């Protein structure tokens, strides 16, 4: 099998212009790739990759579901599988997107898929129920954002690569266990490394989803800022006409005629309305710019890219608020968030990892909601030299027999295909790394509460041992 990273993508869409758009986004000239890398480094931190390290995508086109299946079959026969496919949901001729995806997965169950749609032929819940593949399926709304497309492609290609590598390595390890019992300890260590790769894959997929939501949240204020500036430009042109008329009046020899002209202009412009509307437009524009700045700040606070591996003093409530703003698009249609904050001291921690725990708990709470809109309550406080955080929901709850296994890797209470079971396991590991404790209480039909306890200072933890449940 080819040892190079798999960057092969299949695009199935009946509109030729869409194929051209995807080629501009995913197979741009090297100079454009470098510009995008510089923008990504400026926003998220890090350094720009040397051009020699940049792996280009290989994009194949199909204009219908049947043609896409033929291309996939040919690729599998040549041992050159696609890492992912972008599939249009509405294709009037032949199969629609849902049927196309079903046929593709019969041939290649490992294929990652992004559904491209501007319509609601199927609700997201109906599509997940029909395809039973939540962990291999993302949705991209048209008109799409270039960065969303590129980030989804990068994320899912990396996820496919990690999953394939893990699958091959797991199979190899199982053979070694049967043949060489004396190498058991080495194989266990390698399995742990593979598990770590899968956890990282899960994190990449979740960040890809969040990036789409953040882009949507930014597009809203940018849209009305642009509209307001266009209106202000029109107002200024009207005022410029008035200023020009005043100048002509000063230079004219017939003041009466100029005065009449000025009065006509004033009536046509409705200067009283302009005096009221211009300050409103300016205020709204400033508020929109403030919203964009806050989203970017929250994204930076959430990721803490520059200090990801450094222990530092951080404000827990600020991290919670930044995380809530980042996942706002995941929550707004499912639950209301109630904050019950108490004054907290700063804590010594790996800030981006604690933010990851908060994100996992909040998204899990949102996914636990039934068809009715629910409530997520976030509380915190102090206990001696420790702080605590609770995330409570009034969702479906967890069965007693499942509570004891809730933090086990790959265990999930969600339906098959709708979760990998890595989010809570990852959170458990992060909390334990901070010498803290995480526990859960739940009642079926009433809801679930997760409680996290963290030491304020890492140097003081040995004096206050915590349970290991």
Domain-wise residue ranges, the chain = 8-179, 180-303, 307-463
pLDDT at residue 234 greater than cutoff 60: yes
pTM above 0.75, yes or no: no
Q: Coil, strand or helix: which one is 441?
A: strand
pLDDT at residue 343 greater than cutoff 50: yes
Q: In whole angstroms, what is the distance from residue 434 CA to residue 456 CA? A: 10
Average pLDDT, the chain: 78
pLDDT tens digits, 135-152? 778 888 888 888 889 888
User: In the numeric block, which tokens belong to residue 286?
Assistant: 């400033």
For 317-374, give the DSSP string: HHHHHHHHHHTHHHHTTTEEEEEE------EEE-HHHHHHHHHHHHHHHHHT--SS-E
CATH fold of 8-179 reads Rossmann fold (3.40.50)
**For position 330, what pLDDT does the model report?**
78
Q: In whole angstroms, what is the distance from residue 60 CA to residue 72 CA? A: 10
* Residue 216, CA distances (Å) to 104, 144, 145, 213, 428 in order: 30, 10, 9, 5, 31
Tell me which DSSP letter residue 245 carries: H
* Percentage of the chain lying above the pLDDT 90 cut: 27
Q: Which residue's structure tokens are 């009305």?
A: 224
pLDDT at residue 19 greater than cutoff 60: yes
User: In the numeric block, which tokens belong to residue 462?
Assistant: 């040995």
pLDDT tens digits, 402-428? 888 888 766 666 554 455 556 788 888
Confidence band of 52 (pLDDT split at 50, 70, 90): very low
pLDDT tens digits, 65-107? 999 999 999 999 999 999 999 999 888 888 998 899 999 999 9
213 vs 348, more confident: 348
3-state secondary structure 391-439: EEECCCCCCHHHHCCCCCCCCCCCCCCCCCCCHHHHHHHHHHHCCCEEE
Q: What is the mean pLDDT of residues 1-29?
A: 85
**For position 416, what pLDDT does the model report?**
46
**For position 275, what pLDDT does the model report?**
76
Do 246 and 259 touch, CB atoms closer than 8 A?
Answer: no
Fold agreement (8-179, 307-463): no
Q: What is the largest CA-CA distance in the chain?
A: 109
For 2-63, give the DSSP string: --S---EEEEE-S-HHHHHHHHHHHS--HHHHHHHHHHHHHHH-S-PPPGGGPPPPEEEEES
pLDDT tens digits, 148-200? 898 889 989 888 888 888 877 777 777 776 777 665 666 677 766 665 565 55
Do 85 and 78 touch, CB atoms closer than 8 A?
Answer: no
Which of 206-210, 225-229, 257-261 has the weakest average pLDDT?
206-210
**For position 333, what pLDDT does the model report?**
81
Q: In whole angstroms, what is the distance from residue 40 CA to residue 367 CA? A: 30
3-state secondary structure 74-137: HHHHCCCCCCEEEEECCCCCCCCHHHHHHHHHHHCCCCEEEEEECCCCCCHHHHHHHHCCHHHE
CATH fold of 307-463 reads Heat Shock Protein 90 (3.30.565)
Q: What is the mean pLDDT of residues 361-374?
A: 88
pLDDT at residue 462 greater than cutoff 60: no
74 vs 51, more confident: 74
pLDDT at residue 11 greater than cutoff 80: yes
Confidence band of 464 (pLDDT split at 50, 70, 90): very low
pLDDT at residue 211 greater than cutoff 70: no
| 457 sits in which H/E element | none
**For position 106, what pLDDT does the model report?**
92
pLDDT tens digits, 270-287? 667 777 778 887 877 777
- The CA-to-CA distance between both ends of the chain, in Å, stands at 44
pLDDT at residue 253 greater than cutoff 50: no
Q: In whole angstroms, what is the distance from residue 426 CA to residue 113 CA? A: 25
List all residues 6 or more positions away from 433 whose beta carbon is below 8 Å from its beta carbon: 350, 353
Q: In whole angstroms, what is the distance from residue 103 CA to residue 107 CA? A: 7
Confidence band of 5 (pLDDT split at 50, 70, 90): confident
Q: In whole angstroms, what is the distance from residue 26 CA to residue 144 CA? A: 13
């Amino acid at each position: 099998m080819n040892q190079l990273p798999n960057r092969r993508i299949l695009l199935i869409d009946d509109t030729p212009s869409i194929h051209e758009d995807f080629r501009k986004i995913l197979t741009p000239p090297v100079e454009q790739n470098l510009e995008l890398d510089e923008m990504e480094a400026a926003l998220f931190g890090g350094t720009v990759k040397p051009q020699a390290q940049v792996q280009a995508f290989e994009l194949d086109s199909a204009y219908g579901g049947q043609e896409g299946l033929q291309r996939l079959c040919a690729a599998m026969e040549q041992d050159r599988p696609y890492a992912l496919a972008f599939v249009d949901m509405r294709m009037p001729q032949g199969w629609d997107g849902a049927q196309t995806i079903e046929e593709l997965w019969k041939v290649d169950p490992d294929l990652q898929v992004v559904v491209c749609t501007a319509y609601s032929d199927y609700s997201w819940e109906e599509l997940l129920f029909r395809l039973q593949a939540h962990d291999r399926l993302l949705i991209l709304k048209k008109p799409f954002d270039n960065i969303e497309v590129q980030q989804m492609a990068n994320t899912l290609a990396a996820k496919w690569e990690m999953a394939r590598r893990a699958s091959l390595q797991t199979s190899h390890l199982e053979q070694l266990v049967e043949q060489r019992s004396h190498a058991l300890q080495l194989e266990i260590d390698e399995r742990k490394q593979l598990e770590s790769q899968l956890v990282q894959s899960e994190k990449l997929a979740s960040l890809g989803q969040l990036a789409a939501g953040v882009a949507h949240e930014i597009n809203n204020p940018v849209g009305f800022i642009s509209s307001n500036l266009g209106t202000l430009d029109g107002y200024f042109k009207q005022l410029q006409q008035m200023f020009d008329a005043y100048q002509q009046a000063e230079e004219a020899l017939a003041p009466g005629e100029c005065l009449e002209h000025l009065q006509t202009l004033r009536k046509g412009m409705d200067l009283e309305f302009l005096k009221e509307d211009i300050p409103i437009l300016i205020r709204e524009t400033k508020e929109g710019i403030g919203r964009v700045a806050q989203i970017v700040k929250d994204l930076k606070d959430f990721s803490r890219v520059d200090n990801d591996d450094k222990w530092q003093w951080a404000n827990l409530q600020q991290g919670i608020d930044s995380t809530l703003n980042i996942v706002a698009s995941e929550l707004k249609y499912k639950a209301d968030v109630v904050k019950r904050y108490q004054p907290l001291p700063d804590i010594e921690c790996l800030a981006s990892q604690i933010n990851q725990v908060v994100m996992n708990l909040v998204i899990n709470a949102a996914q636990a909601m039934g068809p009715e809109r629910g409530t997520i309550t976030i509380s915190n406080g102090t206990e001696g030299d420790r702080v605590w955080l609770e995330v409570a929901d009034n969702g479906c709850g967890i069965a007693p027999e499942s509570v004891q296994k809730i933090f086990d890797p790959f265990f999930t209470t969600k339906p098959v295909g709708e979760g990998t079971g890595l989010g809570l396991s990852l959170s458990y590991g992060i909390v334990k790394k901070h010498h803290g404790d995480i526990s859960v209480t739940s009642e079926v039909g009433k809801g679930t509460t997760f409680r996290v306890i963290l030491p304020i200072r890492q140097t003081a933890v040995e004096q206050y041992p915590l349970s290991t449940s």
